[in-house]
Amino acid sequence: MGRGTMPVRPSPRSRKHATTVGVSAIVLAAGGSTRMGTGKPLVRIADRPLLEHVLEALSRSLVTQIVVVLGHEAALVKEEIPLADATVVVNREYAEGMSTSIRAGLRASDPQAAAFLLVLGDQPFVSSTTIDTLIRRWRPRRPRILIPTFRGRRGNPVLVDRSVSSEIRSISGDVGFRELFQNRADDILEVPVDDPGILVDVDTPEQLRSLSKEIERGRPLKEILTDLAIQARTASR
């Protein structure tokens, strides 16, 4: 076990799939959430914590293992969120950047997993259908990196084949796995999906209040998320 991480006993789910060649989902939920002002995994939206939304989508998908990487307020998260179906690892080096959580997740993953789904813990509206679409597109020919797109814009989660795991372990700092995309155009397969949730994360109290208000008004969730995705794209130009 690497320096700075503390494992939690693997769940029944991970043991069940211990001999299955499949996909391990690594949920990155360790950050300090400075922009939000409080731990994002426990921020409630639609009457449930953000992280719980993420885990529910994964539990309904084709992934064969769920690894949750915690850090900031890890003890509180473990008290408040049902994690019995996940393998949990606490990254004590989370302040050094997302790359430390990715490496911690890889170390805790099923050694027989053939691919890894890198999941952001603050994107609560990615659908299980999107996750399954990525896995099904990967299975026949096993491209090295698969990235979902919505209306031409890349989002998350990202599926990476085990063949690039050594390169993932080499990244450092807070750049995250997007560093893998540099000079890797030939290895990337973009997968169009009808899911604006791949572009919508919850970073600030203002975003949370705005999103919660729209949900409470009864607007269709896909309509809300599409508007947010368009706004984010406009703001990034």
Segment 188-230, tens digit of pLDDT: 999 999 999 999 988 888 888 888 898 899 999 999 999 988 8
Looking at residues 111-116, what average pLDDT do you find? 96
31 phi, psi to nearest 5 deg = -65, 160
pLDDT surpasses 70 at 7: no
Q: Which domains does the chain have, with CATH numbers?
A: 5-236 (3.90.550.10)
Looking at residues 131-138, what average pLDDT do you find? 97
Residue, of 120 and 233, whose pLDDT is higher: 120
Length of the chain: 237
pTM as predicted:
0.87
Contact, 40 vs 50, CB < 8 A? yes
Q: Please give the mean pLDDT across all residues of the chain.
A: 86
pLDDT at 18: 41
Q: How far is 198 from 119, CA to CA, in rounded Å?
A: 10
Question: pLDDT band for position 176 (50/70/90)?
Answer: low
Segment 17-71, tens digit of pLDDT: 444 459 999 999 998 766 565 678 888 888 899 999 999 999 999 999 999 999 9
pLDDT at 129: 98
DSSP letter string, 2-67: -TTEEE-PPPHHHHHTTT---EEEEEEE----TTTTS-GGG-EETTEEHHHHHHHHHHTSS-SEEE
pLDDT surpasses 80 at 115: yes
pLDDT at 19: 40
Nearest to 159 by CA among 142, 146, 143, 176: 146
